[in-house]
Structures are given as structure tokens and as C-alpha cells.
Structure 1
């Protein structure tokens, strides 16, 4: 566990130091902190009409959204890794509008079915049509200590997020939910409350790290797919952390031009337990008191090291 004092974030955007790049400030939308581009289309997001054959991937930021996206794509391709490698992707993110680009909701409305759509919002702020139409939702959950560390680093290099301040300042804001997309605790508790609905499926980041093949098999069953042992072996090899870090920029070729970061930055370490390199003893003690208090009565239990 880290014994270091507080520290400032490193680079921001395209190599600029903190303070040298204009960083946006989050704003409130119905009590949820969002980025200005999200607020500008908030009414369209709230009234978004999901289709019954839509599939949503719901995650709190930095919880495994990109990883689960790639997992789902290979499963839908029946394990055809070669087809996966040549397929370029554009993330259909409901709540994120890229500057100078077509509004996200409008872009998603124009997509053919079946659509795969990504959301970070808690269930209190998602379009009602998602649950009313019983759309498939894949929820990916990750332990809050590693999420806090990864989210902090993401703030340091993304042009789309505010300056995080010091690690101590960011962690304090994270623990009280004063960060973009709000409280991690509210997010996981809200989605977990729907766990008995057959159209809602849960993946845990730590379980994927421990045995990706097993978790891929569970997801394939949920999606109505059956992969051969050879296809599953290829899937696991393709979605190892090192392979993803090497290949993601090719999968999303346009991401860096508008966000200020590459996927090699975005996919930083992918470890379970990296929080021990950042949390002081005192910070960990506070978090260890907060987690069971906030998750009391939920049956949620997270793994913090492998």
C-alpha cells in the first residue's frame, strides 16, 4: 500500500501539463453531474426511445466497458477473431457527444437494428424506455478502489473531463459522489436491484480477470450464442490485456483526434489491486468503513486483489 504523500496528476490531453489545456467543468442535469455536451442533449436522452432488440452495456466509468464491448463483439461473431480484427468500431455512447460531431442521440437513432448502446448513467437517470421495453442490459461492475484510481488517471489525460486536482482531492470527491456520473455506490446499488430480471446480466471485472473463458461462456449463453472450444480459446487470447492495449487504437482509429488520448493511454494497467499503489493507510481505512456501510443489505461483494 502506498505510503507516499499527495501528488499532482501528470499529463493532460496531448501531452500538456495541468492548467495548460482548457478542461471542461461538469454541470448538473436533474441532480447528476454530467459534461456540458451531455446537458445540451439532456431532454433528448431522457426521451430516447429504445428498441426491444437493443442491447445496452451499462457501466460506471472505468469499470470494463471497452473490454466487455470487445467480448460481446467476438461472441456475436461466433468467435471469428479475423473478422473482429478488421472491423472498425464507433462507440454508440448515449450520453457523450463529441465536439463538432453529430449529436449522440441523433446518431444512435439512425443506426440499424440490432443496436449496441453504451451508458454510464445510474438507473435513476436512464431513459425509461430501456426498462419498459425489457432490453437486454449487460452491467459490468468493478471494485470501487480500483475504479477510483483508474478514473483519477483518466481525468489527468482526457480533454473531456475536468481537472481532478490531487489524488486526495479526487478520492474525497469520488467517495461522496461529487464526480461526473455521480456516486459509484448509487450506480452499483441501482443496477444490482434489478439482478433478478432475466434481461439484466452482470459481469464482474475481477471475475473476468480471473477466468475470462468462463465469464465469456456465461455471456454467450445470455446472448443466445454457443462458441466452440477453439473459438473460445481464440477469444481469450485476443482479449488478453496486452493484446487489447496493442490493438485498440486500430479498432477505434478516430478516438484520439477529439478526446486528446489514445486507447494505449485509456487501457492503462487493467490490474486488480493497483489501488494499493495509490491509497495511503489512512485513505484505505476510510474506504474500508465506507464500503460496507454503503453496500449494506445488497449482497454485493467485491474482490480487491487476485
Structure 2
């Protein structure tokens, strides 16, 4: 591999194939700038753009360090909230740096390049959109330890020794809330035009035609590893219901001890309304509309957006997929 040429690279273990012509036509009606056919990976058929195929093996063979800290999630599941919590706990509650340096600088986004190279080349992305990362798998080997790494890839596509080597967090969120948040994020990041309606997005999401879908296998992969000593599996809803309990768990997982007063400071910092004010995400959208990086942060908020038809489809979608696992999303104490 490029980063470790002397090491024997493991063969990438999953089939990568183009989506069908019909699927590609539907996808590209929305994801307009991509040229090559979108792809599906492995038995679950995870959807990614063709740029991922170019680097799948390099990412799979990435060398993990024992002092790495990873946050892995399906998009819009509370990633940034958890990243901020994890980074602060690991870095002795350094609020000053957290306030002055965006989370995109403190955490490297592992596979981000694979999403953008095909449509933008090496150029910087749209200046109106938030900057998603400053480092990725290509530059990470040169970074000093400890490294903080984020990925939206499922665990099966990440380095096979990841869990045996480093501390890994995974956060899951009710797919209905994810779909609403992901819909607005697709507009924020200019993947979709502003006129794309939620109904259209939902149809693509439930039919596994949105980047990183299907969501359930992505989450269940991590759920099934939840008892691994190096994996902390969390629910977004639990962070909403009882943030203090999650803070305590994260401190214990990272072998950090803080006073009750320090934990109260941390919780105040992590309050959603405070998070919205911080420049840490390079949040640049204006006018207080829905298309912002931090929107509402409420679980169960999907009910405000789903009409009766989408609600019925969502119930069927949830029921069908939850039959296959013992995982259940927590209810929210509103």
C-alpha cells in the first residue's frame, strides 16, 4: 500500500460491482456531478460512489495505531456531538482548543477524499459548504499520535484489526430521524439541489439508493460487536435522555477521571444550543433556515416532517429490518 509499501497488503475481501443501469440513472438524477457508475460493496450492497473503489484496498489496509481514537457512524447519527465529547474527555477537557479549532481539524475524516475527488478533482470544495476535513487516509500516516479519526464506513470496510488495536466509538440513531437530517445535509453539502423534497429523499433512502445505505446492516454490524472491549456502542437517544450517564461511560472507556464539577462543565459545553453557536464545524449557512449543520438535535423530530404515507412506509421499513436483529432504538424522554 502507498502508506506502508513494505507490508504485505491484505486482499480486499468484498465484491465491488456497479449498480444496475436503472439504479445509476435514478441516483444520478440527484447526485448530478458524478461521472462513473455508483457501486455496491459486499453482501449488504453498501452504496458508494466510484471514487471509493479506487482506494478501498488502501483504506482496508490502513495501519491502525494503539493510541488512535475512532468515531464511526452512519451519517447524521450524532457524529459531531459524540466527536466533541470524545475529544474533550481524551484531551483533559481542553475547552480553549475546542472553542478555537474546528472539529474538522481535530478529527480526520478517513474516506472523505473518495467522495470528492471524482467530482472536484484536487480543488477545494464549494466555499459556501462546510469544510469536512483537513486530513484523510492519505495524510494520516504522517500525523503524530494520538490521532482522532472519523469514518462513515461500516466496520466491515475498515481495517480488520481496528477493534483489536484502538478504541472505537459507534453511535446509532433512529433511521427516521437520520433520514430527515441526511435530507437537509444533502442540500447543505450541495449533493442535492435545494428543490429536492423530503418525499423524494425518503424514497431513495428506504430503497438503499443514498450514499452509505443500507442503514440497518451498517448499524447491526457494530451492534453485534458491542461486547468487544475496545468498542463503545451508543445511541443518540441515550445522549439526549441522559447525557451525564454517557459522559461517565466515555470517561471510563478512555480511562479518564474528572470531578463532578468538571463533568458539569463538559455537559454545559455539549448542550445542543451551545454547540450550534460554535465555529467548530465551519458552519456557514445563513438565515436560520433548516439547512444548517446543526439543525434541531431532537430525537423523534421526524414526526414533524413525515406525512401519513411516509409514516406508514417508515413503520414497515423499521418493522421489516428490526425483525432481523435484537437491537432496538431507545424511546426518547421529551
Greater RCO between the two (CA within 8 Å, min separation 6)? 1
Counterpart contact for 1:189–1:295, Cα < 8 Å = no
> In the alignment, is residue 58 of structure 1 matched against residue 85 of structure 2?
no
Distance 2:135 2:67 in 1: 22
Distance 2:243 2:153 in 1: 26
Equivalent position SS for 1:201: strand
Distance 1:52 1:230 in 2: 30
Report the CA distance between 1:88 and its aligned residue.
4.4
Equivalent position SS for 1:202: strand
Equivalent position SS for 1:100: coil
Equivalent position SS for 1:267: coil
1:27 matched residue in structure 2:
38
Report the CA distance between 1:36 and its aligned residue.
5.0
Q: Which is further off, 93-102 or 213-222?
A: 93-102
> In the alignment, is residue 172 of structure 1 matched against residue 203 of structure 2?
yes
**2:110 maps to which of 83, 94, 105:** 94
> In the alignment, is residue 79 of structure 1 matched against residue 93 of structure 2?
yes
Equivalent position SS for 1:43: helix
In the superposition, relative to structure 1, how do residues 284 and 304 fare at CA in structure 2: closer, same or farther (>3 Å)? farther
Equivalent position SS for 1:294: helix
> In the alignment, is residue 282 of structure 1 matched against residue 309 of structure 2?
yes
TM-score with structure 1 setting the length: 0.81
Q: Which is further off, 76-85 or 207-216?
A: 76-85
Counterpart contact for 1:77–1:83, Cα < 8 Å = no
2:271 matched residue in structure 1:
240
Report the CA distance between 1:245 and its aligned residue.
0.7
Deviation string 1:39-84 (CA, Å, 9 cap, x unpaired) is 4433321221212222210100000111001001211233343343
Report the CA distance between 1:23 and its aligned residue.
4.4
**1:212 maps to which of 230, 243, 249:** 243
Distance 2:148 2:320 in 1: 35
Report the CA distance between 1:163 and its aligned residue.
4.8
Deviation string 1:211-255 (CA, Å, 9 cap, x unpaired) is 2122111111011011111111111111111111101x2x245x7
Distance 2:284 2:61 in 1: 30
Counterpart contact for 2:109–2:135, Cα < 8 Å = no
1:156 matched residue in structure 2:
187
Unpaired segments ≥5 residues, structure 1: 1-18, 258-263
Counterpart contact for 2:222–2:233, Cα < 8 Å = no
> In the alignment, is residue 301 of structure 1 matched against residue 307 of structure 2?
no
1:5 matched residue in structure 2:
none
In the superposition, relative to structure 1, how do residues 36 and 163 fare at CA in structure 2: closer, same or farther (>3 Å)? farther
Report the CA distance between 1:150 and its aligned residue.
0.3
> In the alignment, is residue 196 of structure 1 matched against residue 210 of structure 2?
no
Unpaired segments ≥5 residues, structure 2: 1-28, 117-121, 125-133, 286-290
2:5 matched residue in structure 1:
none
Equivalent position SS for 1:49: coil
